[in-house]
A = this chain, B = another copy of it.
């Protein structure tokens, strides 16, 4: 593989997600880490052989950096991405990529000017059950899409309503902009963009000024329905995404760990109808979605190819989010 470029990577935000990204990097090297909690930056720097900093501004412009991973709280995602693009770096920014449509439009403008690539971290697309589902749908195994149904939630933890996700200024919203955008993004993968958005973001349990439950009833341009619910009062961690075509149902469940064993069930209607032909794939191995996503982004860069999960995708998801927040305020 002589001649291959090895990218230097800067990681802004060294919390749980930043650490996962660092660990999942194959074929690129972390050279600099920043976090407002300097100890956190130092711990990750120590583990990766990188330089630590307490300020992201110090790392995004370094000459030895060609890729910036932005894994901060939501309020900094757009700002750091714009700065990195201005410095000529490619960017992997975690979802939701920005707190609002207005904010992401600035990022899109910055990208257009820079010519660099931006991948948005919709990592659920890279889970094996969902990849297999996409493949089966592309191969026509499910027939024309009719609707999708998604349920995604967790039960929080003590003090959850005092964390940054509970602060609208930092997070840009609550459960809808947190786990909800994953459901919206997955739904768009299967039925495309939405012409009609109904739904409610509601606060039932947590003592916080953002929503802890988001119910969505979306209609695609082709008339397909996405029926989605994200919850931070799910009590038993749950991920379930059901995809209905004219000839089959696909059901992705679990994300490993506390979300349960990941599996895809494929229910194929027989010509005589009645009970379907049923095949299930289980994925007991460790979650490799982070690694696959980064590999793909490195390939995108090598081939000057637009990332599959783009700023346009994040913008489309944020359009739904904003619309539901508006409907809920009425």
Select one of B155, B200, B229, B283 contacting A269, CB under 8 A: B155
Q: Determine if A279 and B276 form an interchain contact, defined as CB atoms under 8 angstroms apart.
A: no
Q: Does A81 contact B (CB under 8 A)?
A: no
Q: Determine if B236 and A219 form an interchain contact, defined as CB atoms under 8 angstroms apart.
A: no
Measured between beta carbons, the chain B residues less than 8 angstroms from A279 are 279-282
Q: Determine if B249 and A149 form an interchain contact, defined as CB atoms under 8 angstroms apart.
A: no
Within 8 A of B (CB), among A212-268: 213, 215, 217, 219, 223, 225, 227, 229, 231, 233-236, 244, 246, 248-249, 258, 260-261, 267
Bound-complex Cα distance A324 to B263 (A):
34
Residues of A in contact with B (beta carbons under 8 Å apart): 146-147, 149, 151, 155-158, 198-200, 202, 204-205, 213, 215, 217, 219, 223, 225, 227, 229, 231, 233-236, 244, 246, 248-249, 258, 260-261, 267, 269, 272-276, 278-285
In the complex, what residue of chain B is closest to A142 when comparing beta carbons? B235
In the complex, what residue of chain B is closest to A257 when comparing beta carbons? B257
Q: Determine if A215 and B217 form an interchain contact, defined as CB atoms under 8 angstroms apart.
A: yes
Q: Determine if A278 and B284 form an interchain contact, defined as CB atoms under 8 angstroms apart.
A: yes
Select one of B225, B229, B234, B273 contacting A202, CB under 8 A: B225
User: Chain B CB within 10 Å — which of A151, A235, A273 has the most?
Assistant: A235
- Other A-B contacts than A147-B202, A233-B246, A276-B284, 18 sampled, CB-CB below 8 A, are A146-B204, A147-B204, A147-B215, A149-B151, A156-B273, A158-B272, A198-B198, A204-B246, A215-B217, A215-B225, A227-B229, A234-B244, A235-B248, A235-B267, A235-B276, A275-B285, A278-B284, A279-B279
User: Chain B CB within 10 Å — which of A157, A273, A281 has the most?
Assistant: A273
Bound-complex Cα distance A147 to B282 (A):
24
Bound-complex Cα distance A217 to B215 (A):
8
7 contacts between A and B (CB under 8 A): A146-B233, A156-B273, A227-B227, A234-B244, A274-B285, A279-B279, A280-B282
Bound-complex Cα distance A171 to B146 (A):
24
Q: What is the count of identical protomers in the complex?
A: 4
Bound-complex Cα distance A225 to B212 (A):
13
Select one of B157, B231, B284 contacting A236, CB under 8 A: B284
Q: Determine if B273 and A258 form an interchain contact, defined as CB atoms under 8 angstroms apart.
A: no
In the complex, what residue of chain B is closest to A157 when comparing beta carbons? B273
Query: If A155-B269, A157-B273 touch, does A213 touch B235 (CB 8 Å cutoff)?
Result: no
Bound-complex Cα distance A233 to B249 (A):
9
With both chains docked as a complex, state the minimum distance between the C-beta of A206 and any C-beta of chain B, in angstroms.
11
Measured between beta carbons, the chain B residues less than 8 angstroms from A157 are 273-274
Bound-complex Cα distance A202 to B220 (A):
13
